[in-house]
Amino acid sequence: MPNDSHDAPPELDELRTRLATVHDLRAASAVLGWDQMTYLPAQGGAARGRQLATLSQVAHEKFTDDRVGSLLEALRPYADAVGPEHPDAALIRVAHRDWDHARRVPADFLAAFTEHTSTSYQAWATARPANDFAAIAPILEKTVEMSRQYAGYFPHTTHVADPLVDAAEPGLGVADVRALFSALRSRLVPLVRAATDQPRPDDTCLTRHYPEDAQWRFSEMVATRLGYDFSRGRQDRAPHPFTTSFSRDDVRITTRLSADDLRFGLFATMHEAGHGMYEQGIAPALDGTLLGSGASSGIHESQSRLWENLVGRSRDFWEWGYPLLQAEFPDQLSDVPLDTFHRAINRVEPSLIRVEADELTYNLHIMMRFDFELALLDGSMRVRDLPEAWRTRFVEDLGIAPPDDRNGCMQDVHWFAGPVGGAFQGYTIGNVLAAQLYERAVKDLPSIPGAITRGEFGELLGWLHTRLHALGRKHDVHETVHRSTGASLTIEPYMAYLHGKFGALYGV
Amino acid sequence: MPNDSHDAPPELDELRTRLATVHDLRAASAVLGWDQMTYLPAQGGAARGRQLATLSQVAHEKFTDDRVGSLLEALRPYADAVGPEHPDAALIRVAHRDWDHARRVPADFLAAFTEHTSTSYQAWATARPANDFAAIAPILEKTVEMSRQYAGYFPHTTHVADPLVDAAEPGLGVADVRALFSALRSRLVPLVRAATDQPRPDDTCLTRHYPEDAQWRFSEMVATRLGYDFSRGRQDRAPHPFTTSFSRDDVRITTRLSADDLRFGLFATMHEAGHGMYEQGIAPALDGTLLGSGASSGIHESQSRLWENLVGRSRDFWEWGYPLLQAEFPDQLSDVPLDTFHRAINRVEPSLIRVEADELTYNLHIMMRFDFELALLDGSMRVRDLPEAWRTRFVEDLGIAPPDDRNGCMQDVHWFAGPVGGAFQGYTIGNVLAAQLYERAVKDLPSIPGAITRGEFGELLGWLHTRLHALGRKHDVHETVHRSTGASLTIEPYMAYLHGKFGALYGV
């Protein structure tokens, strides 16, 4: 139990005030970033770039101030005295971690890296459509070199990529992720093979004409029903859907729609609503502080995947949702039985593009990227060998080969707009953790699946709010997973879920 | 001519960098303000308030830094050497003015005043619909007292309100505005009387049902045609239309629409497009600096009024525009002749509410407010006497009396959300200057009126860009008016315009 008998020293108030300023500056950056992706006029980009650079620089300068360090130092005895469970101790602990992190990277290196990634992004935007890997290769080489240099500012135990993984997943290192992924891959590849040996379900019902305004209406109805609170958020269109939070009372989601494919908009909304409900569920006391957001990339992804896949692609969900979807789109769906629809949205098929991959093959896309990142960083693979390695691994894992680099190793923006290392593993950690959380939630509240068939999601959301969301960034990944599931991160619930679901669908 | 033979000292670069940071922080505030008025979720207000307060505080702190003062001091000889026409001298001059202004007001007074106006706004939002002047009177008394105190931090020559007028209209004082207004009022009151003695034109054609999406389309077509550049801006809905600029390449307008009154949306868009084209026309070299926005409230208002009234309510404009409007709304307007429409949009009628007043009576609303502000500040009128004074003056100037205070002295937000003094005169200065600018533009380019009848506005906009917009905030009001019109501010062109227009319409 928190020990409340210690009076907070005056340094705590000053620390809170300083951190609140940094937080508000970052929130302002997030508003400008949201606007950039949704409503920015065609020619507004240059000024917006300057404004974002200034906000980020002022926030960095205020956060890395020596005074913040001496306040943290002065508060150490207080944090020890109240004990690690006390909210003040959590704030001091995480602030110390973040401050140390921010201080280690020299400002001029950071500026040079930002400039380089901006150049890289521009080059990629031209080179990818032209399928010109040779043009981007020297830039990617420099990115790898700078990523290595960046990692070098941090202590790491074993692998050069440890700090990059830790930055995205506090407390996790390369060894943790490798262990998880190697177990997962050995069991996933045979399952994918077995499923793809079966006849493919017919999914043509999803590519009929679906008017966008009706899709929009339906997706907002679903998001509302799941529990995303539109009085504390909103949905807008964006070319690449994302979620952003300016406070737990202003968490915004975005989506994209295609009139010719029902999947894009519907599942993007459920995915982003999952991220959104996480941020909306942070404990009010943490709002406006360093602790007031999700705990890691992977844990965030667990929430989007849980609602998109475990709920949104389940038979239970569509028991409730399908009659409503048919009522919204009678011309398109009245002749399509629920089973056909359910099989269509769960069709498994080896494919080239990560973001279009099905639930089963998706992780194979992630795991190869993670392995390539490590190999590039530790020098066991050269950038020029990436295209060939990509093709070989695709054949090995998925039985197909990309016809070109634009649909191969150049498809994702990540390595061309940020560091190489730590960018991808969160997606699969999210899938794994989603199943573990869901299994635990149903164990605690066995009525959840039945409620889902009636379109009632409050019990599940309430459990997630209480067990996970409320924690914010108070703890590292290990601790957060432990507190919410009562166990360490494990692939068993995920494998059980996949076998159960795809076993039933594909008889494998 | 600028003297370029002097090398800029290194202090100039540092000054520019520091001012650019301040500018970007203010631009970020403007983005957050725009979002607050357009897309903020219902519960997002509290967090947004905190974020805006932080941005404003950090910008203030960076701007009022001692170092900025010593840089300005060090740059004084350079500014003198290059001469007042040099762009660097303009930057140093205006920065010095703004810096001095910002330094004079103690931070704790500013915080107390901000808190008080926020309380006042909340109280007004309740008291106005309840018509409860007694509830708001003590709060307004304190606002008057604090406005006086605020003014006291600045040197002023004659009237306590001089600094408040100067803050809105750099270089102008109470005496300037009084002289202008007293001449204007003595000639306006008889003209209003004469016009309102005539039968009222029929304006029922404007209050038919006009679907909002068609209004939106038409208003964006008109704004584009006038010259508002949508690639460097956008239009959104807002309860109270406004224009905001984050850079000359991102200047946004807002509008409100009523399906039952064509006037609201159409003229709001032209009005805001006028403000918008001003900001879009600032010289590129001034963008991102302290000089990169409009020169004063009144000069800004001259641009909105010029496009809304001198262009948008002219017979010439509708020669071109009316067939297009009829084509958009055939059911509503095909039986309405152009003359009827033109008389309807120029209907003169004494009315209670400023924002709904016609072009002719509008200035009487402004001038009484200005007089009341001065009387409240110099102590010649008490707050409790305001309602009665308001009624008396209304009868005197407009021949009608407000039935209650909610439609009388409590109607405008200005005195209840900011200082008393300096809030209103800009609207009438804008009307006066609009006519003076337009007269000069037509003198320089006599083909302008003919071009307007063909829906061609490029010559007029080009003249305004060159003569006025490009100047930004380089000069004070006197100098800006002189450079753009070749003369001092005068009511003669405005009176000539009013007599010409309303003489023709009303035979007066």
Give the active site residue among B169, B220, B272, B279: B272
Residue to mutate among B21, B26, B31, with most A CBs inside 10 A, is B31
| pLDDT at position A5 | 61
Minimum-distance CB partner of A288 among B40, B47, B58: B47
Kindly report, residue by residue over A441-461, the tens digit of the pLDDT: 999 999 999 999 999 999 999
Find out whether B389 and B116 touch, Cβ atoms under 8 Å. Answer: no
Evaluate if residue B1 carries a pLDDT over 60: no
Evaluate if residue B51 carries a pLDDT over 60: yes
- The pTM assigned to this predicted structure is 0.95
Closest approach of chain B CAs to the CA of A263, in angstroms? 27
B453-B457-B460 Cα angle (round to 5) = 115
Reported ipTM: the value is 0.94
Calpha distance A362→A351 (Å, rounded): 9
**DSSP 3-state of A371:** helix
| pLDDT at position B156 | 73
Interface of A with B in 38-57 (CB under 8 A): 39-44, 46-48, 50-51, 53-55, 57
CB contact under 8 A, A24 and B246: no
Calpha distance A396→A373 (Å, rounded): 18
Beta bridge partners of B258: B261
- Which helix (DSSP H) or strand (DSSP E) does residue B252 occupy? strand B250-255
Strand segments (E) across A242-362: 243-247, 250-255
- Which helix (DSSP H) or strand (DSSP E) does residue B244 occupy? strand B243-247
Calpha distance B291→B94 (Å, rounded): 8
Closest approach of chain B CAs to the CA of A13, in angstroms? 16
CB contact under 8 A, A41 and B287: no
CB contact under 8 A, A25 and B54: yes
Minimum-distance CB partner of B234 among A41, A54, A57: A41
Kindly report, residue by residue over A406-443, the tens digit of the pLDDT: 999 999 999 999 999 999 999 999 999 999 999 999 99
Minimum-distance CB partner of B24 among A43, A50, A232: A50
Q: Which residue of A has its CA nearest to B230?
A: A41
Q: Which long-range contacts (CB under 8 A, 24 or more apart) does A285-288 make?
A: A285/A87, A286/A248, A286/A472, A286/A473, A286/A474, A287/A247, A287/A248, A287/A249, A287/B47, A288/A20, A288/A23, A288/A24, A288/A247, A288/B47, A288/B50
Give the active site residue among A169, A220, A272, A279: A272
Closest approach of chain A CAs to the CA of B481, in angstroms? 29
Is any Cβ of chain A less than 8 angstroms from the Cβ of B61? no
Domains delineated in chain A: 10-160 (no CATH), 161-508 (1.10.1370.30)
| pLDDT at position B4 | 53
Kindly report, residue by residue over A38-93, the tens digit of the pLDDT: 999 999 999 999 999 999 999 999 999 999 999 999 999 999 999 999 999 999 99
A272 is catalytic: yes
| pLDDT at position B6 | 76
Q: Which residues of A touch B287 (CB under 8 A)?
A: 47
Q: Which residues of B touch A21 (CB under 8 A)?
A: 54, 57-58
CB contact under 8 A, A41 and B232: yes
Minimum-distance CB partner of B249 among A31, A46, A62: A46
Percentages helix, strand, coil for chain B (3-state, rounded to 5) are 65, 5, 30
**DSSP 3-state of A261:** strand
Q: Which residues of B touch A17 (CB under 8 A)?
A: none
Residue to mutate among B18, B52, B54, with most A CBs inside 10 A, is B54
Interface of A with B in 11-40 (CB under 8 A): 20-21, 24-25, 27-29, 31-32, 35, 39-40
Other CB atoms within 10 Å distance of the CB of residue A290 = 23
pLDDT above 70: percentage of residues in chain B? 99
**DSSP 3-state of A276:** helix
Confidence of residue B372 (pLDDT cuts 50, 70, 90): very high
